[in-house]
Amino acid sequence: MGIPAEVIERRIFIIRGFKVMIDRDLADLYGVPTKVLNQAVKRNKERFPGDFVFRLTRKERAEVVTICDHLAGLKFSRVLPYAFTENGVAMLSSALNSRRAIIVNVQIMRTFTKLRNLISTHREVARKIEELERRIKGHDDEIQAIFDAIRRLMIPPAEDPKPRIGFHP
């Protein structure tokens, strides 16, 4: 019954700035036909506002089909698929109301949380790298100044003509 997190992670896309899952993938994970999943959503419209679920545009569908081979069948579908945000996925288990839906939903929520933590960690690492780059840039400038000073010290001083002692013709 356990679905590996990697399987779920590969089915999460970023569309319109949201991390989403496509209705066909969710139906597959829940073990129900896509039509049944979409009917449950339509019967419970008040549970699924626009920031929980939205229909993909033709262009978005084409991009998803291009990215994912397992969704190639969507290319020929007359109906545009739904995309469920994290909140929409959480609401689905109550709309489907089956034991499998609840178990799978828990796994999906854990995966969304894991991805959120990875993104947060990634941002922190990126910030630290930028800080190190700034420091190194400062060190490069300082090292260049040291080398310039050493080069100036290596140039032999220009010899001033010393006054000759004695008779000058």
Contact between 73 and 82 under an 8 Å Cβ cutoff? The reply is no
pLDDT digits (tens, 9 = 90+) for 6-39: 888 888 888 898 889 999 998 888 888 999 889 9
Rounded CA-CA distance 17/22 in Å is 15
Tell me whether residue 21 is in a domain.
Answer: yes
Residue 153 forms part of a structural domain? no
Return phi, psi of residue 54, to 5°.
-150, 155
CATH of the domain at 9: 3.10.260
Interatomic CA distance for residues 114 and 49, integer angstroms: 25
Is residue 155 in some structural domain?
A: no
User: Once rounded to an integer, what is the mean pLDDT over residues 83-107?
Assistant: 80
What is the average pLDDT score of the chain? Answer: 82
| 88 falls within a domain | yes
Which one is predicted more confidently, 165 or 34?
34
Per-residue model confidence (pLDDT) at position 1? 55
**CA–CA gap between residue 141 and residue 55 (Å, rounded):** 53
Residue 6 · residue 115 · CB < 8 Å: no
* Total number of domains constituting the chain: 1
**Boundaries of domain holding 114:** 5-121
